[in-house]
Amino acid sequence: MGCSYEYDVLVIGAGHAGVEAACAAARLGARTALLTTNCDTVGQMSCNPAIGGVGKAQLVREVDALGGVMARAIDATGIQYRVLNRSKGPAMHGPRAQADKKLYQMEAKRLVEETPNLDLRQETVEELLVEPLGGDGVTAPAWRVTGVRVRGDAEYRAAAVVLTTGTFLQAVMHTGEAQTTGGRAGEGTTSGISAALHRLGVVVDRFKTGTPCRLSATSIDFSQLDEQPGDPEPQPFSFLTDTIDREQMVCWITRTTPEIHDLIRANLHRAPMFTGQIESRGPRYCPSIEDKVVRFADKESHQLFLEPEGRHTREIYVNGISTSLPRDVQDAMVRMVPGLERAVIMRYGYAVEYDYCPPDQLLATLESKRSRGLFFAGQINGTTGYEEAAAQGLVAGANAALAAAGREPLVLEREDSYIGVLIDDLVTRGVDEPYRMFTSRAEHRLALRHDNADRRLTPRAARHGLAEPHRVERLAAKTAEIEATLAALAATRVQGTSLADLLKRPEFTWTHAVEAAPTLAAVSREAAVQIENDIRYAGYVALDRERIERQRKHSQRMIPEGFDYGNVRHLRAEAREQLARIRPRTFGQAGRVSGITPADLALVLVHLEGRP
């Protein structure tokens, strides 16, 4: 028998989900081990060197409000900052930052290494250790996780295990006809965990993702490209960051051409996505260039963004040309792009097929329904994106620590946060393609803005023990500033109208308010933004809250654990099967299960109330 190590929580995989999971568990006081096959790739950006964007920025700021590390890492290592969708209202704004890719990874690793209660260990997990509980795995768990076995015959024992394995489960990379095992260029794959999940009765399926080629900047003619500078005043992601004061780097824009599209069409017989070599689904909203050429045949060109991968490298990421076409086709295709006629490819694009576990097998805590103490987060749940992974990681890691300590779980609702929307979508509706967050997924997005994430979630984090004292103190000071300023705006009048009422008008801005009342110039920029947004959205948010309250009584009615849908008279077979599989906690969640109708819910309600 090899060595044995004792912990409260084990986190398997050190990508964006794993980093947040491990740090969250450790912040809650759990003795935590973060196990990764390579300690040099903690927090690695496998694909695009950027954080945030429309819908995704809300997740990053919510993770930060809950004490997470992603926002602090990008604030420390960003090389360009831009707010997307500025022409729309604040609820649609999407801050986005280009990262110095290597520095970001190093900063993420530093934050992990400096977190109390957390050990980073280089290990390859080959087996899940469990003991039987006797449940059926549907109404009650069939297993309890007790730890993992790693290569070298050592064991790690813990009350909770979080799987954040990314694209590394039985992963295969495709570049044209060539296939190699691995979840990321230059790295391997793992099969032990997939086999262990099969033995536990967990359903495992396959998804596909991809990445574009990287170019040497020394081979690019930038005079033919359009510059895309950052915003004059970079906007931080973390509520703990006051300002970002460093020189920003420029990105560039070019486009594909009809000739490139002809080349791609002529080589579709060599594209794994079209030959049957790849059978699994990829992300619809981040398609490969060959997929875009086929799906949008009427378009003569597609925009390409050339993004630096860091300050100390000349490597350029070509956003918009993800591909698994053969090397020779990639060479020819790239050199047909204006400005890239002499471009040298440093890394070729490729697609990755990998195992994931359909997330409707999880509870809202991200714990498996089949095995107590086993949590899932990130791409193993069928999502795509660093931000989506980080959000799940924080919730899974926190709940793993809370479960190990016998405490009440952290469950975020749809009206609370984008994270609540993300998790509810996953566990209630499942996925049939890699899931990506959009603002349109959030019904209450007017209230769930990125600027107010701390006011919405930091008090919740403090109650659970996730938020550091200085974060709570900072929020208290800002809240006091906002309340005092709102009172001053209501009391200050211009021609008989209060400044608070004037700010409701689109043409009246905070600058006008300061001109009318110069003392407002002392208000912090962060507080001023939230005050202006709060006032402008107040009417809409009030109506939304009324609608939520009307729905709350019915939607929050609990469905008993282990409820037998087979006993509900006249319930459709499809509805009975779906509800028994998903096991919704409330009527609100039951109503969001795919295929469930109001009539189905009415029958369940009649049965619960004992009416004939």
Which CATH number do you get for residue 584?
1.10.150.570
Q: Largest Cα–Cα distance of the chain, in whole Å? A: 84
The secondary structure of 515-566 as a DSSP string is HH-GGGGGS-HHHHHHHHHHHHHHHHHHHHHHHHHHHHHHHTPBPPTT--GG
**Residue 395 is encoded by which pair of tokens?**
């919730």
CA 204, 208, 209, 215 dihedral sign is: positive
Nearest to 21 by CA among 396, 572, 540, 287: 396
Q: What percent of the chain has pLDDT over 90?
A: 71
Residue with tokens 């608070």: 500
What pLDDT is stored for residue 216 in this prediction?
A: 97
For the cut 60, the answer to whether the pLDDT of residue 540 exceeds it is yes
| Cβ atoms of residues 233 and 246 within 8 Å | no
What would the mean pLDDT of 546-569 be, rounded to a whole number? 79
The CA R_g of the chain, rounded to the nearest whole Å, is 25
Nearest to 470 by CA among 456, 454, 449, 448: 454
Looking at the fold, whether 442 and 477 belong to one and the same domain comes out as no
Q: What is the DSSP letter of 341?
A: T
Looking at the fold, whether 23 and 121 belong to one and the same domain comes out as yes
pLDDT band at 612; cut points 50, 70, 90? low
Looking at the fold, whether 398 and 484 belong to one and the same domain comes out as no
Region of 241 on the Ramachandran plot (φ > 0 left; ψ -120 to 50 alpha; else beta): beta
Burial (Cβ within 10 Å: 0-12, 13-18, ≥19) of residue 291:
buried
**Model confidence over 309-361: pLDDT tens digits?**
999 999 999 999 999 999 999 999 999 999 999 999 999 999 999 999 999 99
Point out which residues pair with 612 in neighbouring strands.
none
**Residue 214 is encoded by which pair of tokens?**
């990287």
Residues 6 or more apart in contact with residue 199 via CB below 8 angstroms: none
Q: What is the DSSP letter of 311?
A: T
What pLDDT is stored for residue 593 in this prediction?
A: 84
Point out which residues pair with 95 in neighbouring strands.
83
Looking at the fold, whether 193 and 60 belong to one and the same domain comes out as yes
| Cβ atoms of residues 28 and 402 within 8 Å | yes
What pLDDT is stored for residue 173 in this prediction?
A: 87
Looking at the fold, whether 499 and 450 belong to one and the same domain comes out as no
Q: What is the DSSP letter of 429?
A: I
Q: Specify if 292 maps to a domain.
A: yes
Looking at the fold, whether 454 and 474 belong to one and the same domain comes out as no
Looking at the fold, whether 150 and 295 belong to one and the same domain comes out as no
What pLDDT is stored for residue 378 in this prediction?
A: 96
Q: Specify if 560 maps to a domain.
A: no
For the cut 70, the answer to whether the pLDDT of residue 453 exceeds it is yes
For the cut 70, the answer to whether the pLDDT of residue 1 exceeds it is no
Residues 6 or more apart in contact with residue 191 via CB below 8 angstroms: 169, 170
Q: Specify if 559 maps to a domain.
A: no
Q: Specify if 545 maps to a domain.
A: yes
**Residue 167 is encoded by which pair of tokens?**
């694209």
What pLDDT is stored for residue 551 in this prediction?
A: 63
Q: What is the 3-state secondary structure (H, E, C) of 207-227?
A: EEEEECCEEEHHHCCHHHCEE
**Domain tally, the chain:** 4
What pLDDT is stored for residue 574 in this prediction?
A: 83
- Mean pLDDT across the chain: 92
The secondary structure of 144-186 as a DSSP string is EEEEEEETTTEEEE-SEEEE--TT-BT-EEEETTEEEE-SSTT
CATH number of residue 200's parent domain: 3.50.50.60
Looking at the fold, whether 233 and 363 belong to one and the same domain comes out as no
Q: What are phi and psi of 372, to 5 degrees?
A: -65, 135
What is the domain extent for residue 299? 214-351
Q: Which of 449, 464, 479 represents a domain boundary (last residue)?
A: 464
Q: CA angle, corner 377, sides to 373 and 378, nearest 5? A: 165
CA distance 184 to 15: 12
Residues 6 or more apart in contact with residue 412 via CB below 8 angstroms: 395, 419, 420, 423, 457, 460
Q: CA angle, corner 311, sides to 46 and 166, nearest 5? A: 10
pLDDT band at 203; cut points 50, 70, 90? very high
CA 79, 62, 183, 267 dihedral sign is: negative
Q: Which of 437, 464, 491 represents a domain boundary (last residue)?
A: 464
Helices 56-65 & 386-404, crossing angle to 10 degrees? 30
Looking at the fold, whether 219 and 282 belong to one and the same domain comes out as yes
Burial (Cβ within 10 Å: 0-12, 13-18, ≥19) of residue 465:
middle
Q: Specify if 178 maps to a domain.
A: yes
What pLDDT is stored for residue 279 in this prediction?
A: 78
Looking at the fold, whether 191 and 100 belong to one and the same domain comes out as yes
What would the mean pLDDT of 542-568 be, rounded to a whole number? 79
For the cut 80, the answer to whether the pLDDT of residue 283 exceeds it is no
Instruction: Kindly give the residue spans of alpha helices, DSSP state H, lying in 296-412.
Output: 327-334, 386-404
Nearest to 155 by CA among 132, 183, 121: 121
Q: Specify if 555 maps to a domain.
A: no
CATH number of residue 503's parent domain: 1.10.10
Task: Select the more confidently predicted residue: 176 or 255.
Answer: 255
**Model confidence over 178-188: pLDDT tens digits?**
888 877 777 77
Number of neighbours of residue 131 by Cβ within 10 angstroms: 10
Q: Specify if 36 maps to a domain.
A: yes
| Cβ atoms of residues 461 and 468 within 8 Å | no
Point out which residues pair with 586 in neighbouring strands.
558
Residues 6 or more apart in contact with residue 472 via CB below 8 angstroms: 458, 459, 462
Contacts 24+ apart (CB under 8 A), 128-133: 128/161, 128/193, 128/196, 128/197, 128/200, 128/374, 129/155, 129/157, 130/200, 130/371, 130/374, 133/372
Looking at the fold, whether 257 and 291 belong to one and the same domain comes out as yes
Looking at the fold, whether 87 and 150 belong to one and the same domain comes out as yes
CATH number of residue 284's parent domain: 2.40.30.260
Q: Which of 418, 435, 464 represents a domain boundary (last residue)?
A: 464
CA distance 416 to 426: 16
Q: Specify if 81 maps to a domain.
A: yes
